[in-house]
Structure 1
Amino acid sequence: MCRTSSLAVFIAAAFLALAPPGQTLPAADHATLLVVNQGDHNLSFIDPASGKQTLAVDVGGITGHEVVATPDGRMALVPVYGDSGVGKPGTDGQLVTVVNLNQRKVSGTIDFGHGVRPHCAVFDKHRNVIYITTELDQSISIVNPETLKIVGSIPTGQAQSHMLVLSHDGRFGYTANVGPGTVSVLDLAAKKTVAVIPISGETQRISISNDDKKVFTADQKKPQLAVIDTASNKVAGWISLPAVGYGTAPTQDGRWLLVALRATHQVAVVDLEASKVTRTIDVPDTPTEILVRPDGKVAYVSCGSKVAAIDLGSWAVTGLIQAGKNADGLAWAQ
């Protein structure tokens, strides 16, 4: 299911036995990998150095899907979506659970006052605000991270605005609108929708290239990835995939795009210069979200009850981290 829309090093001691013979694994700096577990309604704290869950914090009686950590490492926000999938009948969440990362416990909630199915939270460093997709209001809501108050919203003009990514220059936001099969382009300063781009009968997830020139979203009807030209706000082309794609993430050098293939339990590696898949990597069941670690050396992929760690130098899975049931959203907390 969202996004933001990238620091340490590698997974060491616990994964030495899993590393290829002769491979030396670098040590890990202090940081925490956060994992939202839909099935357990909790947030896992993962120690990247040991590759082990150190704690799981209950985030509410109904399901959260995504998580964002503030850059200062103080807190994480987990929007509590509800007990159903996007566009399906079920409860309509109206809360965001706030977790104190130092105390490692729930410290409060943000209440929208009515059911909105809040989903993807993204930190905007340019404005020091947090955006949260609020599907049933067809908007993204704006939250002040100091006061935890809702201070505004931006309409998306579409239903099921599920995931969000921001341009690195802070000018635009892009939402993947699942059921309509569109992408909304948001002018963040003007707080308005400037374009709605048709993609397919249904689309999922969204990411942006490091140079802000391309946005990627996965067609859910065909095994292909839409490539949006951000200068024209039009689909510039398609990248063929071995299976229907889901979560995507570019590598730090901007050369590769990683794509989760849920049906085949793989991650596809796309060469962005050639616009084609150059390899696939086997991972556990149902790969969903991909997070490239800020140091650019490792990608984490949520897969069922595990998180796969992929060495981006060797393209090998070097560790499997036990998380909770239906692991989904990922965040890096420093």
Structure 2
Amino acid sequence: MNSVLFLRSLAMCGVVCVATGLAGAQSKSVQPMLLVVNQGDRDLSLVDPAAGKQIATVPVDGVTGHEVAASPDGKTAYVPIYGDSGVGKAGTDGSKLSVIDLASRKIVHTVDFGHGVRPHCAIYDRNSGMLYVTTELDKSVSIIDPKSLKIVGSVPTGQEQSHMLVLSRDGSRGYTANVGPGTVSVLDMKGRKTLAIIPISKDTQRISISRDDSMVFTADQTKPQLAVIDTATNKIKMWVPLPAVAYGTASTLDGRWLLVTQRTGKQVVVVDLKTMKVAQTIDVADGPTEVLVSPDGKSAFVSCTRSKQVAQIDLEQWKMTRLIDAGVAADGLAWAK
């Protein structure tokens, strides 16, 4: 090879190597990270889901947080500081939201609600660009601008203990599970008003919505059954019998299956949303609470509060593939991607 060809080859090699390096850096930057809030440890676990390992923990302002949301760019986590009480029980009333920079693994800002509100569930709405946080003691959902980190409004729920929130895909409708009243509030998120209050039972927990927005699911805490709400009528469409009392729910990305945690049975049941019957039962660790489907739709991750772990479920084989160590009373989950 002559010197000219050699130099050309060397230059091409440099271009390819640089391009490959950039591609590697880009792929590494978009790798999803699983966030886990540990109530007992009062911190946030950062988990590498590919390796199945906790890579770091971040304290969340010294008081108990339960849930977490992440910004769409995966750089920031938001943890409402609920306090040390149970829902509707005596204890401290949290009044802040910790804003965590995931790169430096530090709290970089605190949003102060000004008084005790027991902030609990946080959702980052990509449609409006707003961060919604349930504020139980105010019977509302507070609206925070993530850019200014200012509270810019609220949506009344009309009920006490509005614990969990879920949004329709376009962000126009919100649904809260109101624990003690045993109801679900239907919210107009743009109009900032309550549209309906749906009676469920004496006690309800958690809430999710189907992929096509046609159904909302919430778990009766007095009987082993799941309420299915028709979003067109805002009424209970049917009840799905379950092996045990349910807790958290989440639909698979194809919209065909609903994963339901059963804390007393150490199991996750799979409901076929075509037949509305239990199709699978999957053994996990102790205290399965929240369930989150991976961005690629291949796995589900389940926080197991009593075992201090997160269970990973293969959604093709319908079985638990591994347990990932987290912290004491592992609870809320979110994807940073």
Q: TM-score, normalised by structure 2?
A: 0.90
2:323 to 312, 315, 320: 320
**In the TM superposition, what is the alpha-carbon distance from 1:133 to its structure 2 partner?**
0.0
Q: Distance in 1 between matches of 2:221 and 2:290?
A: 15
Q: What secondary structure sits across from 2:137 in the alignment?
A: helix
Deviation track 1:161-208 (CA, whole Å, cap 9, x = no partner) reads 000000012210000000000000000111000000000000000000
Q: Distance in 2 between matches of 1:177 and 1:104?
A: 33
Conserved? CA contact 2:280–2:318, under 8 Å: no
Q: Distance in 2 between matches of 1:134 and 1:36?
A: 18
Aligned residue number for residue 272 of structure 1: 273
Q: What secondary structure sits across from 2:248 in the alignment?
A: strand
Q: What secondary structure sits across from 1:245 in the alignment?
A: coil
**In the TM superposition, what is the alpha-carbon distance from 1:152 to its structure 2 partner?**
0.3
**Aligned positions of 1:26-65 closer than 5 A:** 30-65=31-66
Q: Distance in 1 between matches of 2:156 and 2:47?
A: 35
Q: Distance in 1 between matches of 2:43 and 2:236?
A: 37
2:118 corresponds to 1:117: yes
**In the TM superposition, what is the alpha-carbon distance from 1:84 to its structure 2 partner?**
1.2
Aligned residue number for residue 79 of structure 1: 80
Q: Distance in 1 between matches of 2:78 and 2:118?
A: 14
Q: Distance in 2 between matches of 1:103 and 1:63?
A: 21
Structure 1 segments (4+ residues) deviating >4 Å:
none
2:284 corresponds to 1:283: yes
Q: What secondary structure sits across from 1:246 in the alignment?
A: coil
**Aligned positions of 1:196-235 closer than 5 A:** 196-235=197-236
Q: Which runs of 5+ in 1 are unaligned?
A: 1-28
Conserved? CA contact 2:141–2:156, under 8 Å: yes
Aligned residue number for residue 306 of structure 1: 309
Aligned residue number for residue 10 of structure 2: none
Q: Distance in 2 between matches of 1:67 and 1:221?
A: 27
Q: Distance in 1 between matches of 2:250 and 2:122?
A: 16
**In the TM superposition, what is the alpha-carbon distance from 1:309 to its structure 2 partner?**
0.4
Aligned residue number for residue 161 of structure 2: 160
Q: TM-score, normalised by structure 1?
A: 0.91
Q: Distance in 2 between matches of 1:30 and 1:271?
A: 30
Q: What secondary structure sits across from 1:136 in the alignment?
A: helix
Q: What secondary structure sits across from 1:103 in the alignment?
A: coil
Q: Distance in 1 between matches of 2:51 and 2:236?
A: 42
**In the TM superposition, what is the alpha-carbon distance from 1:74 to its structure 2 partner?**
1.9
Conserved? CA contact 2:38–2:45, under 8 Å: yes
Aligned residue number for residue 194 of structure 2: 193
Q: Distance in 1 between matches of 2:49 and 2:126?
A: 25
Q: Which runs of 5+ in 2 are unaligned?
A: 1-29
2:248 corresponds to 1:247: yes
Letter in 2 for 1:283: V
What is the aligned length?
A: 308
2:256 corresponds to 1:259: no
Q: Distance in 2 between matches of 1:247 and 1:63?
A: 20
Q: Distance in 1 between matches of 2:230 and 2:80?
A: 30
**In the TM superposition, what is the alpha-carbon distance from 1:272 to its structure 2 partner?**
0.6
Deviation track 1:193-241 (CA, whole Å, cap 9, x = no partner) reads 0000000000000000000000000000000000000000000100001
Percent of aligned positions that are identical: 66
